Each structure stands twice: as structure tokens, then as C-alpha cells.
Amino acid sequence: MHIVLLGVNHRLTPIELRERLAFRSEQLPAIFARLREEVGLQESLVLSTCNRVEIYARVPEVNGSVDRLRRFLSDHGGVSVTELAQQAYCYTEPQSIQHLFSVASGLDSMVLGEAEIVQQVKRAYESAREHGATGKVFNVLFQRALNTAKAVRTQTGIGRGSTSVGTVAVELAEKIFGHLGSAVVLLVGAGKVGELTLRRLIDRGVKDLRIMNRSLERAVELTERYEATPVALGRLEEQLVEADIVITSTSAASYLLSRADVELAMKRRHQRPLCLVDLGVPRNIEPAAGCLDNVYRFDVDDLQGLVMHAHRERQHAVEASQAIIDDKVDRFLAWWREDADACAPLLSEHAAAR
Amino acid sequence: MVIIHMTCSLLSYAAFLVAFICGILFLVQERQLKRKHIGVLFHRLPSLMALDRANLIAIGAGFALLSAGLAFGLIGSKVLLGRWWISDPKTYMATLLWAAYLVLWVMRMRSTLRGRRVALLSILGFSLVLFTLLQASYLLSSAHPYL
């Protein structure tokens, strides 16, 4: 009895091939039936995301099953068996289990430690279970995989910090204001990164959004999309009194906000803290404004520096994550062996009775 | 009477201690934000807003308790000793302390001061608390031979 894995991922295989091999969720019921009947898998699971296509299988013997599985996958994607053999990896236990636990923990992801993969593994498992493709061993295996992912995330820094400029800005704002539900956000200039940051802020509960942009058309488009309030260009000063978080991303040649502007605004806002996120290059806000009390100013370099920092921190957490995974793999293998031993006499009795 | 006086006073010191701790955490967190440097504590510390609010509540509560403590002290002195005021280093210090926290609290409520400066002052204020608490017992002779 073996647990094997056949798959392709973003490290080894270009997207042109991955997209041909991918499975759509509506195909899965038929796929599971074929995997059981044609390939002869006792239990199976298909994990198909934008970065990977992997089939996990429990098989009675490795050799014939893997060949049949490879043929099945090449047939599904319209890829020749030899090409697939070059691109795809195939593992048996314990590597297959190790790989699964690493994938679920985000160690094999493009952005190290990203959290989305946990949900993807969970959905893949639920889909396989609903269609009767998993049995006792895979139910335990995938629950342990999810469990491992959780342990790794909570016990190491693998998911800590933010890995994009937008999320870093949000994280900083949250460290100033706490929950952002009652924060007022003003976006000046509607560039791509600014919009991305805006979207992250909405994800974190921001409701009061104001948008100021030179092109009215773009401003209206954005205000409609995010249910924001448009603000006339000349009213920056008074907006600065009401807003808590100001994001600027204009291509203006001179400062939009000088230190004196911000100082005046701080008086008028009774020193309530103000978070300035300057995404413009050249910068839109005079850097010296950040020296004022209760003013927190971040520019693109600051944010990118923090992104790099988060990546480095996550890299540091890999070793500790690996240790947790190894431990969980050992425990699963021990359970599996014990379970197989417990079942063996029953099976032989069964065989004898026949 | 004396017991209530002592309890209120000691509780007010405890509240000022909370404000002191919030002040330190505020300064640590603010320093990380201003310097754009994320240290080990960054993810564990609460937001500046939360620390500032906790600091304000602690100062307010401490001030109320200290006022009650002083009031009971005055009444106790009148009842037990027949006069309102005992001229004693500790009573002078406690009055100074009361006035200092009153000023701090009013300034914070009126938002003349906020954030880092309040945090700094609540740290400074607590050193005054410690001095008040210890001077009687160790440094100067006093009518308050206990803490």
C-alpha cells in the first residue's frame, strides 16, 4: 500500500503546460470516477491551482499505477507521455507526504508562506470527499495536512509580515489606528498601486473613502466601483483635517503637501494621528512632514523596504517550519503503519474465509 | 477612614503604573513606526490608538482615585487629629502629584497634547509617584511612616 503523488508546479513547469493539465472543478466528479476505475486508485485527490496541478493517490503497488496515472494525466492535458515525464515530479511516501505538508504550509508557494493555499487544499479535500474519492487513510492524511499548516503558521513566522506594498501600508495603518472600520481614507491620484492599496483597506473594513483625481472620468469610475465620495481638487486642505489615512499617487512635479500644510492641518485636527502614504515618484509629500508629532509618513522606499524585510523574515522561518513538518510526517507514518498492522489480521481472516 | 484613604491612594498608584506601562509601549511602537523599522515586538504590540486610549483611561481613573484618597486623608486628619492639614513632606508631594496629573489629564482631554508627549509625561509622572511612595518611608521623616 503506497501513497504516491504525480504533479507539476510553478518551479519546474511553464504556465503553458500547467494550464493544459489543470482540472476545472466541474470536471472532477467524472475525473474521480475514472481515476478509480481506469487507473485503479483506491483513494485519490486532485489539487489544481494556478501554481500547481497535483494528483495524490493511494495505490496497491507503485509501478503499474504510476504509469497508468501518468498516461491518464498526459491524455487529459493532451501532452505526450515523454514530455510529461520530463516536467512532472513523482514521489512515493514519505516524500509524497512531506511534499503535501509543505505545500499546505505555503513552503512551496510562489510567495513563501501565503495563506490562500490552505483554503485551496481544503477545497480540494472537500471536493474529493464529497465525490467519494477519499477513504480512511486520505481523510486522516489531509486533515493532518491542514492541521500541520495551521501549526506551522501559528508557531513560526512563515506567514508574518506583508509581502506587497498595498498590504504593508494597511498593516502600518492598523498599527496606528487599530481597527480601520471608522477610519476616513483619502486617495489623491488614482494610479494602479493606489487603487490596490485602496482595495486592501476596504478588505480591512474601511467604509469612508474619498477620492480626488485630476481626470474626472477616472475618479467617477473609481468612486462608483468602491462606493467612495469624489472630492474636488482644490479641497485638499480641508480634507486633510477629516481624513485619517491619506494616500497620494500623483505624478505632480512639486510637493502636493508641504510640511507647513501638514503642521497646520495637525493643529486643526487637534493632533489626532495622521497616516500619510506617499506612493508618488517624485514624492508628493515633503519628507520633513514625517517629523511632526503624531504624523506617520511612509514613501515607496519605506514600504518596499518593509516588503523585503517580510520576505527575509519568512525565509528565516523555513527551517523551523520544516522541523514541524518532519515531525508531523513521522507521526502520520506511525499512525498509518499501526493502522495497517491492525487491519492486516482482519484482511487475512477475510481472505481465509473466502 | 485611614484604610479607605490608603486603598484609594494605592489603587491610584496602580492606575498610574498602568499609564506608565502604556506610555512605554507607545514610545516603543511609535519609534518603530517613525523609523520604519519592524522589530520583534511590532506584531505583538497593540496599535498606537489603543495604547493612547488605555493611557488616557488609566490616567483618568488614577486621578479620580487619587482625589478620593486625598479627600479621605483630609477628612481622616480632621476627625483623628482635629485639623485638616498635616504639614508633612508626603502631603506636599501627594498634592503636587495630584496637580501634575490634573494638568496632564486636562491637556489630554482638550487634545492640546496627544500621543508621544502624553506618553512621555505619564512616564515622568510615574517617577513622581515612586518618589512620593518611597520618600516617606526611606528618605525623609514623615507622619506617614508606612508606604
What is the least distance, in Å, from the CA of B39 to any CA of chain A?
10
Q: Which helix (H) or strand (E) holds A44?
A: strand A43-48
Task: Provide the edge-to-edge strand list for the sheet that holds A208-212.
Answer: A229-230, A208-212, A184-188, A245-248, A274-278, A295-299
Task: Provide the edge-to-edge strand list for the sheet that holds A43-48.
Answer: A43-48, A52-59, A2-9, A89-92
Region of A294 on the Ramachandran plot (φ > 0 left; ψ -120 to 50 alpha; else beta): left
Residue A252 has pLDDT above 60, yes or no: yes
Q: Is the Cβ pair B114, A161 closer than 8 Å? A: no
On whether ipTM exceeds 0.85, the answer is no
Residues A332, A141 contacting (CB under 8 angstroms): yes
Q: Is the Cβ pair A273, B116 closer than 8 Å? A: no
pLDDT on residue B146: 54
Domain ranges of chain A: 2-160, 165-300
Residues 6+ apart with CB under 8 A from A184: A208, A210, A242, A243, A244, A245
Residue A345 has pLDDT above 80, yes or no: no
Residue A241 has pLDDT above 90, yes or no: yes
Q: At A325, which amino acid appears? A: I
Residue in B34, B46, B113 closest to A296 by CB: B34
Calculate the CA A49 to chain-centre distance: 11
Residue B144 has pLDDT above 80, yes or no: no
- For residue A310, how many C-alpha atoms fall within 13 Å in the half-sphere facing its CB? 25
Residue in B38, B115, B117 closest to A306 by CB: B38
- The H-assigned helical ranges of chain A are 15-21, 28-34, 62-77, 81-87, 95-104, 116-130, 136-155, 165-177, 192-203, 216-226, 236-242, 259-268, 300-316, 318-353
Q: Each residue of A80-92: pLDDT tens digit?
A: 888 888 889 999 9
A97 pLDDT band, cuts 50/70/90, is very high
Which residues of chain B neighbour A176 with C-beta distances below 8 Å? Answer: 33, 47-49
Residues B34, B98 contacting (CB under 8 angstroms): no
Distance from C-alpha of A341 to C-alpha of A117, rounded to nearest angstrom: 33
Residues 6+ apart with CB under 8 A from A246: A185, A186, A188, A239, A240, A257, A274, A275, A276, A277
Q: What is the pTM of this model?
A: 0.73
If you average pLDDT over residues B1-17, what whole number do you get? 88
Share of residues in chain A with pLDDT > 90 (%) = 44
Taking CA–CA distances from B36, the nearest residue in chain A reads: A302
Which residues of chain B neighbour A177 with C-beta distances below 8 Å? Answer: 47-49
Calculate the CA A142 to chain-centre distance: 19
If you average pLDDT over residues B67-91, what whole number do you get? 84
B143 pLDDT band, cuts 50/70/90, is low
Residue A117 has pLDDT above 60, yes or no: yes
If you average pLDDT over residues A308-313, what whole number do you get? 88
Q: Is the Cβ pair A271, B111 closer than 8 Å? A: yes
A91 or A25: which carries more pLDDT confidence?
Answer: A91
B112 to A181, A210, A266: CA distances (angstroms): 26, 28, 11
Which residues of chain A neighbour B48 with C-beta distances below 8 Å? Answer: 175-177, 273
Which residues of chain A neighbour B29 with C-beta distances below 8 Å? Answer: 175
What is the least distance, in Å, from the CA of B16 to any CA of chain A?
23
Look at the domain A165-300 and name its fold: Rossmann fold (3.40.50)
Q: At A180, which amino acid appears? A: L
Residue A114 has pLDDT above 70, yes or no: yes
Which residues of chain A neighbour B33 with C-beta distances below 8 Å? Answer: 172, 175-176, 296
Residues B147, B131 contacting (CB under 8 angstroms): no
- A50 in active site: yes
Q: What is the DSSP string of chain B?
A: -HHHHHHHHHHHHHHHHHHHHHHHHHHHHHHHHHTT---TTTTTS--HHHHHHHHHHHHHHHHHHHHHHHHHHHHHHHHHHSSS----HHHHHHHHHHHHHHHHHHHHHTTSS-THHHHHHHHHHHHHHHHHHHIIIIIS--S----
Which residue in the block uniquely carries the three cell numbers 488605555?
B54
Same topology, domains A2-160 and A165-300? Answer is no
Q: Each residue of A145-201: pLDDT tens digit?
A: 999 999 999 999 888 878 788 888 998 999 999 999 999 999 998 778 888 888 889
Residue in A161, A175, A305 closest to B47 by CB: A175
Residues 6+ apart with CB under 8 A from B147: B10, B133, B136, B137
Residues B91, B135 contacting (CB under 8 angstroms): no
Residue in A174, A294, A305 closest to B47 by CB: A174
A344 or B87: which carries more pLDDT confidence?
Answer: B87
Residue A293 has pLDDT above 50, yes or no: yes
Taking CA–CA distances from B49, the nearest residue in chain A reads: A177
Residue A350 has pLDDT above 60, yes or no: no
pLDDT on residue B147: 47
For the CA atoms of chain A, what is the radius of gyration? 27
Interface test with B, best of A271, A297, A298 (most B CBs within 10 A): A271
CATH tag, A2-160: 3.30.460.30
Which residues of chain B neighbour A306 with C-beta distances below 8 Å? Answer: 36, 38
Q: Is the Cβ pair B33, A160 closer than 8 Å? A: no
Burial of A94 (0-12, 13-18, 19+ CB in 10 A): middle
Identify any residues that bridge with A5 across adjacent strands, giving them in sequence order: A56, A91
Around Cβ B115, how many Cβ atoms within 10 Å? 23
DSSP-derived letter for residue A285 is B
If you average pLDDT over residues A116-142, what whole number do you get? 92
Residue in B33, B46, B115 closest to A172 by CB: B33
